[in-house]
Structure 1
């Protein structure tokens, strides 16, 4: 496992570069990321390239044996480009250009911008593509599904729609434009749905706009990747992503890249309420699931966050090391901390790095140095991977569709996924977070929450999984919409009726109200947000409502279908229900459970087919004691242990 830092030499005096590299090497840094926002320093005037300073920086780090991630800095074009070619600036919904001076304000569909992005990429890979110290290339930074309303984006969107639907009549039919007299009589009448809240606009248009903007980001990455590989087919390519209001479809974004990179900023302050999931374990497992392979963390929490909001508290002792180790446990092969030194200028001067403005090593820096030493001990684990018996299905389109038309207060698609993930993690299970089109055949258990927008390929995949003997869990708001984001004219859960063995005669969007359900064993749990009124056709009741006008009717069902089993949860519950449910499912499917783990302890297992390594992470603010079933060798402390004593945010790794 390797630890690194994000470094911005262009922001510091050149006299500091050598001492910084020396200090990094002494602390154990193995990787450094450079140049992701340095376009103006590399091309200060149009066509005038000044690579000398970057040559010098790369030579310095090469001498210390530190591997370099070199970024193609297309997120921030130089101001001369915006001034000379204002058409590359994104257009707001009101028709005005974004005010430049921040970041990410270029339009990735602009032919002019793409021309210059290709040129800087080409110049960089020609110069550094065969340098052995440059081990990875990053394309752009934190790409979004940008809602640009420029003429180029509008015309490209209209062309994209015609290619998808063939003609205007088909678009009208797919969108149901007869509502509010919205029929299109000319393609020029189609506008990006950005001027009003999404809930006021045509939901079919809104979802297609997301698909288009997301594909635009992926197409830009693909174009730069193809250019770079044309210059040097052996380069390794990635880009870094982070969750935002405009997160693109990550399955498409990384399709042409070698591995996934994620910017990981776990919470410094943990929520006292058990119902609130503070851990970033779900996000890390999601990154591993995007390509079904290990990933990198390109930016990791290093100090108090700030700049775009009020400053957060400082990371507590143990969090710098613990959160990096947590990422390793969930499939990260490298973790780079943002950033080496806190910026002294610019908007991010209070988004703290490992070193504060004083440039004097502090508590966080020394903890980081200890992390570097511990990571070296994990080097044998580079050949290992996580193998999971459980998969949770995630859909970017469903996530976005719920944002277009929120169903009811307290109903949150992502929170459902996290609740299931937390429940299974409580019993020490590895969990994959995957696309609905992924191969599900090796999983003993698949959770597919709120399959709201029907994708026929995904539906067929889920049916096939159960027919072949799998155990599937569906939840409320499944089968509601067709692929065009219109309601299906059928009894819910429509396409899943046969599989689930139920029909929903009515539903009750209760929001913040609460009801109670009782399972087959007599355990009672609170439910909220949503209550499906279920009529079982071939299914059996797993749990029933105990109150309300649907008292004694099924709330959760189980249906045997062909060789498998399909469960349906018609409501939203608290974590206690999901943990009870997860425990029962794991027992029924033969998935091993670790019982009596202290609250907050996360357990993951990586294997190379011969040896198994078990990560125990105390993601809590209390000391914990964990008895082991037999004495095991600690990779971190080089001793045999029969009981683990973990401080807050401490991790130990034992070989089984």
Structure 2
């Protein structure tokens, strides 16, 4: 899309602002405290549909007029949302058929948010009517610097199984396959007498007595992602017609365990890519998930992006919602900036006293300004002002990690060789040693341009189409280093097994052939030569040109290769046929990186996260100390400045335990 930059100076800072939840006498205090905290942009109107349109066709924008005028008067930019994530009660009274149907045939009720069928014509009509009114009224308002389309698409209604969705699914399938013969072939419907003779016979994969057809389920996931994307595109078109220069975004959810949407398809439709990210309380090293998520969002954006939501402290929707520890708010926020975020925002500005999210933390907590969270929020505002020059800088990387939503969906369908495989866990296992070593990473699609990279890692790619497989193997053939994890390349784009031996699409490039899989039981391990162990998976690998690097030392596959290396063209292709323990995997990846000529961006003590953003005239070295002791890191002796303190750096910088340093390192011409 045509670039439409965000007209907010420096690193944008703020959060979701919901003044409609409070009496107007509170608003003046909000403005004063936002100035104290250094807030520069807030998202408004996200859930205000019922207030803006109290009955069908009757609009009241008086409150929103005052809010936007007030923000502009106080120098705070507005990311103005379309309120379409929460239709009002009157809409469902008039259109009960727009409520979603779950897989078991139960009609869900309104009373929360996103309780609509994505394929409902009534919802689309009402939503676009509201968006049109909003766009016409505020397209020229000086406070509005960005449109915030909807909110967290698919968070609660990724799938609807009603008859309207069924008809929309059939339309999508006609566009994809042209003919029933092509669909029957793609779905393999000769199995279990599933052959379709009429389009109307095709239903969503509703609850049934046994396992549904895997390609049917995969196409359903693709359709559901596209159905919601079409709603985004429709709203974006209305906004673009009214205000062609104003950028639009919608907040992705690239975080653990959310996989409803294929963001590779979504990202090109956004003017500015933004993301919501929340920590998992049960994750003892959630900083790794922050880094992984940030690198993935930056890769989707092709550069800097915005963090639209995260939390100052506890959330309210996990089994146990823990507060953040001392310094964690700052480390989390600057960790996102280190990975390319040009804006930091929270849900929400003022903690709610009523409603479903009343126990979700906020920038201004229930305790008010006499609180640690508030002091941390004010400190972060000062930090972001000090980092203003970092805005727009990029992140160079020599390593690419392949990430594909189609492969994730397909591998996590039922009736796999192992139900213990989880895509994001497999990717994180490979990502973590790189993070610890300070090696910069991009994420890529299987068919991406791989020429900027020395090393491409494929931790998990169960499904890959012919184009993606050829692209990856060609990378090695032309001199790159490729490393592929187990159970990859197994099926094609239609979820059909690639015959002739595993790992299917990568068999020839890897120089191996597997004839049988031996997945491991929970808690079961296999020994590996060199002293390590493997979990989750093993397989009977036969060398077909490759050399064995590591072998199994016990169990039914004793002596069989577990890790192999093959010279392919002028490059190398590695295969990892098990999940090595963390230390063994780290050692293996260090060896592969060294062979590929990949080095850390900077050497740092254990526990110190290192990342670099590259500006036009300087590099910005982010040092985030997650450890319990101060750490000293060498830096070039000439002209370096630690931006958070403004102090010159001579030879090294000391990062306190739990602290952060950001060093500007001038680059020579």
Same fold, TM-score > 0.5, yes or no? yes
* 1:281 aligns to 2:291 (yes or no): yes
* 1:327 aligns to 2:333 (yes or no): no
SS of equivalent to 1:335: strand
* 1:5-52 CA-partner distances (Å, limit 9, x unpaired): 211011111111121012101211111110111111111111111111
Return closer, same or farther for 1:430/1:593 CA change in 2, 3 Å cut-off. closer
1:143 aligns to what? Answer: 153
2:566 aligns to what? Answer: 559
* 1:379 aligns to 2:392 (yes or no): no
> What's the CA shift for 1:385?
0.7
Query: Which of 380, 401, 413 pairs up with 1:404?
Result: 413
2:633 aligns to what? Answer: 627
Alpha-carbon distance between aligned partners in 1 of 2:277 and 2:25, rounded to the nearest angstrom:
31
Alpha-carbon distance between aligned partners in 1 of 2:502 and 2:34, rounded to the nearest angstrom:
59
1:545 aligns to what? Answer: 552
SS of equivalent to 2:391: helix
SS of equivalent to 2:621: strand
* 1:209 aligns to 2:220 (yes or no): yes
Alpha-carbon distance between aligned partners in 1 of 2:221 and 2:513, rounded to the nearest angstrom:
31
1:529 aligns to what? Answer: 536
> What's the CA shift for 1:314?
1.4
Alpha-carbon distance between aligned partners in 2 of 1:340 and 1:311, rounded to the nearest angstrom:
22
SS of equivalent to 2:588: helix
> What's the CA shift for 1:230?
1.4
Contact 1:377 1:635 in 2 (8 A): yes
Alpha-carbon distance between aligned partners in 1 of 2:608 and 2:420, rounded to the nearest angstrom:
27
> What's the CA shift for 1:205?
0.4
1:131 aligns to what? Answer: 141
Alpha-carbon distance between aligned partners in 2 of 1:221 and 1:4, rounded to the nearest angstrom:
24
* 1:353 aligns to 2:366 (yes or no): no
Which of 507-516 and 211-220 deviates more?
A: 507-516
Return closer, same or farther for 1:655/1:360 CA change in 2, 3 Å cut-off. closer
Contact 2:139 2:243 in 1 (8 A): yes
* 1:262 aligns to 2:275 (yes or no): yes
Which of 214-223 and 185-194 deviates more?
A: 185-194
> What's the CA shift for 1:457?
1.9
> What's the CA shift for 1:517?
1.6
> What's the CA shift for 1:623?
2.5
Structure 2: gaps spanning 5 or more residues: 1-10
Return closer, same or farther for 1:437/1:637 CA change in 2, 3 Å cut-off. same
1:74 aligns to what? Answer: 84
1:218 aligns to what? Answer: 229
> What's the CA shift for 1:464?
2.5
Alpha-carbon distance between aligned partners in 2 of 1:375 and 1:470, rounded to the nearest angstrom:
39
Return closer, same or farther for 1:207/1:646 CA change in 2, 3 Å cut-off. same
Query: Which of 260, 264, 281 pairs up with 1:247?
Result: 260
1:238 aligns to what? Answer: 249
1:74-473 to 2 correspondence within 5 Å? 74-144=84-154, 146-196=158-208, 200-242=211-253, 243=255, 247-267=260-280, 271=284, 279-306=289-316, 308-405=317-414, 406-473=416-483
Alpha-carbon distance between aligned partners in 2 of 1:597 and 1:407, rounded to the nearest angstrom:
41
1:52 aligns to what? Answer: 62
> What's the CA shift for 1:594?
6.4
Contact 1:504 1:532 in 2 (8 A): yes
Contact 2:566 2:572 in 1 (8 A): yes
Alpha-carbon distance between aligned partners in 1 of 2:635 and 2:341, rounded to the nearest angstrom:
27
Return closer, same or farther for 1:361/1:119 CA change in 2, 3 Å cut-off. farther
> What's the CA shift for 1:407?
3.9
Contact 1:390 1:443 in 2 (8 A): yes
Which of structure 1's runs of 4+ aligned residues deviate more than 6 A?
Answer: none
Which of 336-345 and 482-491 deviates more?
A: 482-491
Alpha-carbon distance between aligned partners in 1 of 2:515 and 2:180, rounded to the nearest angstrom:
36
* 1:383-439 CA-partner distances (Å, limit 9, x unpaired): 311011111010001111122135425432211211221111222111111222221
* 1:356-393 CA-partner distances (Å, limit 9, x unpaired): 33434411111110000011111111131101111101
What is the RMSD computed on CA atoms of the aligned residues? Answer: 2.0
Contact 1:445 1:472 in 2 (8 A): yes
SS of equivalent to 2:189: coil
Return closer, same or farther for 1:270/1:448 CA change in 2, 3 Å cut-off. closer
Query: Which of 596, 599, 602 pairs up with 1:592?
Result: 599
1:613 aligns to what? Answer: 620
Alpha-carbon distance between aligned partners in 2 of 1:515 and 1:624, rounded to the nearest angstrom:
39
Return closer, same or farther for 1:113/1:415 CA change in 2, 3 Å cut-off. same
Which of 640-649 and 495-504 deviates more?
A: 640-649
Contact 1:452 1:480 in 2 (8 A): yes
Which of 594-603 and 464-473 deviates more?
A: 594-603
Contact 2:287 2:332 in 1 (8 A): no
Contact 2:469 2:489 in 1 (8 A): no
SS of equivalent to 2:437: coil
> What's the CA shift for 1:277?
8.0
Higher strand proportion (structure 1 or 2): 1
> What's the CA shift for 1:595?
7.9
> What's the CA shift for 1:140?
0.6
Alpha-carbon distance between aligned partners in 2 of 1:8 and 1:126, rounded to the nearest angstrom:
22
Alpha-carbon distance between aligned partners in 2 of 1:610 and 1:556, rounded to the nearest angstrom:
43
Contact 1:2 1:335 in 2 (8 A): yes
> What's the CA shift for 1:245?
5.2
> What's the CA shift for 1:152?
1.6
SS of equivalent to 1:511: coil
Return closer, same or farther for 1:291/1:460 CA change in 2, 3 Å cut-off. farther
TM-score (norm 1): 0.94
TM-score (norm 2): 0.93
Which of 232-241 and 142-151 deviates more?
A: 142-151
Alpha-carbon distance between aligned partners in 2 of 1:594 and 1:575, rounded to the nearest angstrom:
22
* 1:476-500 CA-partner distances (Å, limit 9, x unpaired): 1122112111222221112212211
Return closer, same or farther for 1:182/1:501 CA change in 2, 3 Å cut-off. same
* 1:185-228 CA-partner distances (Å, limit 9, x unpaired): 3322221113159x821101000000100111111111111121
* 1:494 aligns to 2:504 (yes or no): yes
